[in-house]
Structure 1
Amino acid sequence: MSINEQPNAERVAIVGLGWLGEPLALTLQRLGYQVSGTTTTPEKAERLNKQGITTLLWELNHAMPARWPSELNADTLIICVPPGKLPHYTEQLSAVAKLAAAAGFSRLIYTSATSIYGGEGIKQEADAKPDSERGERMQACETAMHNSGIARVLCLRLSGLVGGSREPGRFLAGRSFEGGDEPINLVAQEDLLRFFPALLAKNDWPAALNVSAPHHPSRKAFYSQAAKLRQLPPPNFSGGGVGKTIDGSAISRYLGLDYLVSDWFDWLAARNTK
């Protein structure tokens, strides 16, 4: 099934209707999915409920409910909660996934991160070996998702997120950093919104897939140009650095979809004209 074909009224629940979760919910709704989700913002809950997205106020930092909320009953769960949002990230998301498993969810997509890869050089899915506290946390959470009791689990290892409200020209403007020669690893919101529906149309998910655009210019070149186009002070970089390059090609082969963003400088220029 192509991403433009309507699915068979499959139900999807999205925990975390934020920068990715909200536009994803609206995209899936337009494609015919029955979509529900969670937020911590009453105003957002009211707005999305009016748009037909059943939205529940759920603060994951509070005590977990005894059972999965009936308003969020679905077939597939998508968890879009970044690590910085929760003090006990792995334990809290593990509890969410186990509640969903007990409620009968059959599939789970968890948005992990490429911090799971340590060291330098090209990183493919089999190379997960974290060398940071954040990376170890992501690896522990991936393991918890696979042990949740949900039959099919896919961990999407997302590179740095740009697009929508995330303006890369402001990320590093006027600040000083090392490693100017290190490659960037980014993915644009518009590519994520294409990949998710295509993933939902398949059932033979691998355990993990990287999501990272195929163009990896240096940090200095990319962020300097991004700041320049927004008329912001450029970042100052010292030192070179090898860094790591995230190979995001497996998801393209799996879905038969190329990334829309194949040149970050073209993307910056097009975004600057909007």
Structure 2
Amino acid sequence: MSKETIAIIGCGWVGLPLAEQLVQNGYRVIGSTTSVEKIDLLQKKAIVAYQLQLNPEPIGDLDALLEANTLIIDIPPKAARLGNDFHPRQIRAVANAVRQSPISHVIYVSSTSVYPELNRVLVEDDVFAPEQSASPAMTKAEELVRELSQSVTIVRCGGLMGYDRIPGKYVAGKTVDSGAVPVNYLHRDDAVGILQRVVREKISGVFNAVAPEHPSREAIYRKSCADFGYAMPTFVEPDKPVNYKIISSDKLIELAHYQFLYPNPLQFYYTV
């Protein structure tokens, strides 16, 4: 490999713009897609493209995809539809292949859904085992990645927003009783920026990736609906207090020296 090669399993809503940015920054990028129709799109963006499905065993040329220095795994767990065991089995299959590959750094894109709603600020050390987690399948997948001998980074992303993911459209005209709950959002541009920083600086460890400001859902929904013309939700008081969590991104800011492009979810950039 004449220049550093980055492999991305999952060139989706975050993975594709990340791949494009890495190409622009001079990396050779290999990417996977589950759809044969998307191969041409990736190739036009100078991404070496492979079709790969993890069902949960790999269907496609996983070994060729792993001819890289760094691997980024960014695939949704789909536990609600496929069961809690499916995603860990996907990750186990990838991890087994990584052990036989030249990969030296593995980055797993996880989620802040691993944190239970404990009505307080939560940090990375609060969840490390499935029995501590609100999303055992995701935490089990993290464990499988952490067992690798390669350098490993776990990036727990908050609720991904920005561009066509507009909060107001998901609640338009509905009744909301959780308006006082703080949000844990992450703009897609920051997700891409954080992953680029991890790649470039070869940072290892577990990091929360969440915008450092946490306005209430009501504030977010009101502004979003007003800005984009969605029907305003009806906000009602809950019968009992709604549990919440505030995810801290202090570790990412302090150790990775990352400066958020969009620290306040009330100022996220969207497109219609």
- Range class of TM-score, shorter chain: 0.7 to 0.9
Which residue is equivalent to 1:215?
213
Which residue is equivalent to 2:96?
98
Which residue is equivalent to 1:24?
18
**2:242, 2:208 → 1: CA distance?**
22
Aligned-pair distance for 1:259?
0.9
Corresponding position: 1:74 with 2:73? no
Is the contact made by 2:203 and 2:256 (CA closer than 8 Å) also made in structure 1?
no
Aligned-pair distance for 1:66?
9.6
Aligned-pair distance for 1:205?
1.3
Which residue is equivalent to 1:261?
262
Deviations 1:109-148 (A, max 9, x none): 101111111122100111117789861111111101112x
Aligned-pair distance for 1:150?
4.0
Which residue is equivalent to 2:78?
84
Is the contact made by 2:115 and 2:133 (CA closer than 8 Å) also made in structure 1?
no
- Give the secondary structure class of the aligned counterpart of 2:99: helix
**2:54, 2:149 → 1: CA distance?**
20
Corresponding position: 1:113 with 2:111? yes
Amino acid at match of 2:254: R
The normalised TM-score by structure 1 is 0.87
Amino acid at match of 2:253: S
Of stretches 27-36 and 62-71 in structure 1, the one that deviates more from structure 2 is: 62-71
- Give the secondary structure class of the aligned counterpart of 2:78: helix
**1:27, 1:116 → 2: CA distance?**
28
Which residue is equivalent to 1:136?
136
Which residue is equivalent to 2:160?
161
The normalised TM-score by structure 2 is 0.88
The 5-angstrom pairing of residues 192-211 of structure 1 reads: 192-206=191-205, 208-211=206-209
The 5-angstrom pairing of residues 220-259 of structure 1 reads: 220-238=218-236, 239=238, 240-259=241-260
CA pair 124-62 structure 1, distance change in 2 beyond 3 A: closer
Structure 1 residues not aligned, in runs of 5+: 1-7
Of stretches 225-234 and 124-133 in structure 1, the one that deviates more from structure 2 is: 124-133
- Give the secondary structure class of the aligned counterpart of 2:53: coil
Which residue is equivalent to 1:4?
none
Aligned-pair distance for 1:34?
0.6
Is the contact made by 1:109 and 1:156 (CA closer than 8 Å) also made in structure 2?
yes
- Give the secondary structure class of the aligned counterpart of 2:176: strand
Corresponding position: 1:190 with 2:184? no
Is the contact made by 2:66 and 2:101 (CA closer than 8 Å) also made in structure 1?
no
**2:210, 2:258 → 1: CA distance?**
13
CA pair 68-48 structure 1, distance change in 2 beyond 3 A: closer
Which residue is equivalent to 2:38?
44
Structure 2 residues not aligned, in runs of 5+: none
When the two chains are superposed, the root-mean-square deviation of aligned CA atoms in Å is 2.4
Is the contact made by 1:124 and 1:247 (CA closer than 8 Å) also made in structure 2?
yes
Deviations 1:233-263 (A, max 9, x none): 1223432535110001211112222111122
